[in-house]
Amino acid sequence: MTADTTGRLCFVRHGQTFANIDKVWHGQTDTELTAEGYEQTRRLGAYFPQYLRADVIYTSPLQRARITAEAIASAFNLTVIHDPRLMEFDLGDWEGKRFADLVTEGDVLEQIIHNPDFTAPNGESQNIVKQRIVAAVDEIAAKHPNDNVIIVAHGVTISIALAHYLDGNTTLWPKYGKHNTAFTEICLRTKQLLSFNKTDHLNE
């Protein structure tokens, strides 16, 4: 860590789910954590107080993120704040499909990555996801400019936010893939990357 330990925004991906194991795009489907996912959240909650003082914790209301956030919050005696703008990319009718199927069905996965306006039936586009996640993060940053903020969310939404702030191009989001319960820090003021995909808690 650097000497400046305030004004940090820490993105945390939720614990492992059954959909993660099955390589299924679960999006806004409210899937459950596995036993390993619960263990990951326990380890994360035990680790965070040794690493960073948390002042406020926001989470997606989906249970996989909420349970992960609550494990961290309990270590700091904080109340979790729910924000639906932090929810995962909504793939509409394609939720529950395996990633392999999305590749073979008209190269849907390539469209999802490279075409910001591509929209799944009854779903949302990458641009819509960017608008809501960036609006949420900017609002949170403005409310807590000198605090250490933890945001617990989802793999794709966090990656889209990082690609927006660090690259100015959300189609680069796949390069920010993260492990379950991994955390990534940026400076609230400058949006400079401070750490990426940290999983030290899983090795303890």
- Summarize pLDDT for 100-134 with one digit per residue, the tens: 777 666 677 788 889 999 998 999 999 999 999 99
DSSP class of residue 106 equals T
CB-CB contact of 116 with 170 (8 Å): yes
- Summarize pLDDT for 45-86 with one digit per residue, the tens: 999 999 999 999 999 999 999 999 999 999 999 999 999 999
Fold of 8-203: Rossmann fold (3.40.50)
91: its two tokens: 């793939």
Assess whether 82 carries a catalytic annotation: no
Q: Does 69 appear as a known binding residue? A: no
Q: What is the pTM of this model?
A: 0.93
User: Helix, strand, or coil here: 139?
Assistant: helix
Task: Considering the candidates 26, 70, 88, 95, report the single residue annotated as catalytic.
Answer: 88
Task: Considering the candidates 14, 26, 164, 201, report the single residue annotated as catalytic.
Answer: 14
Angle, CA 60 vertex, CA 75 and CA 118 arms, to 5°: 150
Q: Measured in whole angstroms, how far is the alpha carbon of residue 112 from the centre of its chain?
A: 17
Q: Does 40 appear as a known binding residue? A: no
Assess whether 105 carries a catalytic annotation: no
- Residues ≥6 apart with Cβ < 8 Å to 20: 34, 37, 180
Unique residue bearing structure tokens 């704040």: 81
Q: Does 14 appear as a known binding residue? A: yes
Where along the chain do its domains lie? 8-203
Q: Does 17 appear as a known binding residue? A: yes
- Summarize pLDDT for 140-188 with one digit per residue, the tens: 999 999 999 999 999 999 999 999 999 999 999 999 999 999 999 999 8
